[in-house]
Amino acid sequence: MKFKAAASSAPEVDMTPMIDIVFQLISFFMVITNFEQTQADERVKLPADRLAKPAEVKRDNELVLNVGYKRDKDGNKTDPRALVFYAAQDIPVANIGPKLKIEQQVFKDTGVDLKEVTLIIRADAEVPAGLIQMLIKLSQEAGFEKFALKAKAEETAG
């Protein structure tokens, strides 16, 4: 049997389409990546609402308090107490007062008027309202005046 004698040469792969796609992907990920340091805690399951739209203008001074439950993988509560997830610590709502005083002092030391600071409460949908009111009361005692309650944006027709 006779074989055709072919000169062995490295096959030339056309890289252009691959580079096109890879650049497309990089552009996509660059555009949608958000490097902003948010103080949101993933353990908090916010309630959803139609009117909750992201603010067009970002507030200059804000303090975010995350209130939620410790949950397992299936979303069941492992601790019945609602906790404030504050700087890698889990603090019961009733004991957050001293931490708020520290925050107030930090704002004062940096020359920020507390009237300009918005205290944003990100609470789990199942947290009792009484605890939110307690949190607001403790924050008022620490000197905070402006409050906002967070909710997840809900996309519904109408």
Q: What DSSP state is assigned to residue 47?
A: P
d(CA 127, CA 149): 13
Pick from 135, 149, 69, 151: nearest CA to 103: 135
d(CA 101, CA 63): 12
Can you tell me which residue has the tokens 């309202």?
129
Q: Which of residues 52-71 bind another protein (CB under 8 A)?
A: 52-55
What's the min distance (Å) between Cβ of 24 and another protein? 10
What the block records as the tokens of 56 is 């067009």
- Which residues neighbour 33 within 8 Å (Cβ) at sequence distance 6 or greater? none
Taking CB under 8 A as the criterion, the residue among 5, 32, 57, 88 binding another protein is 32
Taking CB under 8 A as the binding criterion, the range among 2-10, 11-19, 99-107 that sits at the site for another protein is 11-19
119 in Cβ contact with 139 (< 8 Å): yes
Angle between helices 97-109 and 129-142 (to 10 degrees): 40
Does 22 sit near another protein (CB under 8 A)? yes
Taking CB under 8 A as the criterion, the residue among 35, 88, 109, 110 binding another protein is 35
Does 133 sit near another protein (CB under 8 A)? yes
Taking CB under 8 A as the binding criterion, the range among 2-10, 105-113, 125-133 that sits at the site for another protein is 125-133
What's the min distance (Å) between Cβ of 150 and another protein? 5
Give the residue with the Cβ less far from another protein, 26 or 106: 26
Phi, psi dihedrals of residue 76, rounded to the nearest 5°: -85, 145
Does 94 sit near another protein (CB under 8 A)? yes
> Using CB under 8 A as the criterion, which residues of the chain lie in contact with another protein when the complex forms?
15, 18-19, 22-23, 25-26, 29-30, 32-35, 38, 40, 46-47, 49-55, 80-82, 92-94, 118, 120, 122-134, 136-137, 140, 143, 145-153, 158
